[in-house]
Amino acid sequence: MYRRNISHILYPAAGILGLFIVYETWLRPVSVRPPTPAQTESESSVDRQQAPEPPPEEPQEPPSQQHRLIDPSAVPETKYQETLAAVRDEVEKGHLAEAESKLISLPPALESDQLVRPYLAVLWNNLGIEQEKREGTKGSVKAFKKAAALAPKNPVILLNLAHAYWEQRDPAMTTDFLERLIALAPNEPFPHLAMADLLQERDRLNEAADHLDLAAARAGNDPGTQSYLRTVTAKVRRTEQTEGRLNSRDSAHFTVKYDGGTDFDTWTVVLEILEEAYREIGQKFGYFPSKPIVVVLHAKDTFQGVTGSPAWADGLFDPVLGRIQVPTKGALTDRAWLKRVLRHEFVHALLHDQQGLSIVALPTWLNEGLAVQLSGDHWPDLRQLEQQEVPVIPLSALEGAWGGLSSEAASVAYLEASSAARYMINRYGMHEIQQLLTRLNKRQTLTAAMQSQFSLSYEQFQSRWLEHLHEERKKG
């Protein structure tokens, strides 16, 4: 057996999916009406009342099609009417680059025209929507920012901007920004959810739970949404209680919570390891977290109870609360163990930070494989498993949650993930992998992303990786 003690529990996939569904449900049909101009919103054709079967092997649908257009038909009657109509037509025809350059080259005086200014905001907003359909929120955030600067009190525009900020983990998504949005769109659940998310990340759990309650009160009667929100709220409140007695200390890149009485020394060691991981892994991976990561050190006897993790788990990254949780059991006597666990979980936190909600589209084998490889952990090679004639599980069967795998299958899964990720890194390099992750972030399927990025199919990737292993084994 090669089951290593490092095994840790995986993402509670149902939780993430819940967040994803809630988010999609709310963001599609936006019910807020701006005071002017009159606007329509195409109704979403997708029924999200029912949760899909977790986990998604491949996303069944294209990424969120946001339909938060503002009706651009009423072009203000000024001497610029024709020019503005021409921009609108370019947007509607999908000539986005032309539309954008026309918008940029309009005389600046237009922006101070009281009639034209709100319409310019509408054009930028609608351009952003179209850009988002093509490139995701990475492509739309600039246009929404421009729209929001022109119409800072238009709730639809600000909701669009907030959505883009949220997906992009943009630091401009501040509590101030969200408070402004809440005042403008008091009946919308999304700003409260986003606020809760932000507060959770800053470890302001009590306030986060209050905003989750406010979101629930505005979320309608969908039982799935309500049940998800209840679960998360309960989790946040429970965490607040259990962690309330812990001390908290910040470093440049981490907030570490620990039991002051017994774990001060552990805290120092943990921080050293984490800061080293931050520099080294961030550099290797080509990405640094957008904000401090919360790390909670649990006393040995409370870790399992508090985190709900199985007995064999050595640590975990909780995506609902956005934090790394580690038991301090033996942390000081086995520094190598502590380092391995912290670095591994740090990679999960890094991927979570980078992918945002699209983390649901990241196959588990790739997530785990990158965690093992980037953390620099030395796992036994899959070849050793092959020698024992353990059958290889197809990668496509390792995309969802691993919680249901038997102990033996889980060991194979980790080894395969590690091996496939190592092959991918050696064969294509981290830059290409980053491009692949960007495609997954736009919710391309892994099949499509691999085909475009590596010019080979998922099946081909898998067979080349196995061939490579086979050759290596022959070489001894």
As measured in angstroms, the least distance from the Cβ of 307 to Zn ion is 14
- Between 228 and 365, name the residue whose CB sits nearer to Zn ion: 365
As measured in angstroms, the least distance from the Cβ of 287 to Zn ion is 17
- Between 41 and 416, name the residue whose CB sits nearer to Zn ion: 416
As measured in angstroms, the least distance from the Cβ of 317 to Zn ion is 7
As measured in angstroms, the least distance from the Cβ of 401 to Zn ion is 12
Cα–Cα distance list, 60 to 21, 123, 359, 451, 461 (Å)? 13, 31, 15, 18, 22
Q: What angle do CA 75, 177, 92 make, to 5 degrees?
A: 25
As measured in angstroms, the least distance from the Cβ of 12 to Zn ion is 13
Strands 293-298 and 254-258: parallel
DSSP per-residue letters across 388-412: TTPPPPPGGGGSS--TTS-HHHHHH
DSSP per-residue letters across 82-148: HHHHHHHHHHHHT-HHHHHHHHHTS-GGGGG-TTHHHHHHHHHHHHHHHHHHHHTHHHHHHHHHHHH
- Between 219 and 421, name the residue whose CB sits nearer to Zn ion: 421
- Residue of minimal CB distance from Zn ion? 371
- Between 157 and 326, name the residue whose CB sits nearer to Zn ion: 326
The dihedral formed by the CA atoms of 114, 115, 118 and 124, expressed in degrees to the nearest 10: -110
- Between 6 and 158, name the residue whose CB sits nearer to Zn ion: 6
Report the first-to-last Cα separation within the chain, whole angstroms: 21
- Between 8 and 211, name the residue whose CB sits nearer to Zn ion: 8
- Between 163 and 422, name the residue whose CB sits nearer to Zn ion: 422
Cβ neighbors of 341 (< 8 A, separation 6 or more) are 6, 8, 314, 315, 326
If we measure between CA atoms, which residue out of 130, 123, 116 comes closest to residue 147? 123
As measured in angstroms, the least distance from the Cβ of 38 to Zn ion is 51
352 with 318: CB under 8 angstroms?
Answer: no
If we measure between CA atoms, which residue out of 54, 18, 3, 25 comes closest to residue 364? 54
> Which residues make up the interface to Zn ion (CB under 5 A)?
368, 371
- Between 94 and 380, name the residue whose CB sits nearer to Zn ion: 380
Dihedral sign (CA 315, 319, 324, 325): negative
Determine phi and psi for 188, rounding to 5 degrees: -85, 130
As measured in angstroms, the least distance from the Cβ of 205 to Zn ion is 24
As measured in angstroms, the least distance from the Cβ of 348 to Zn ion is 6
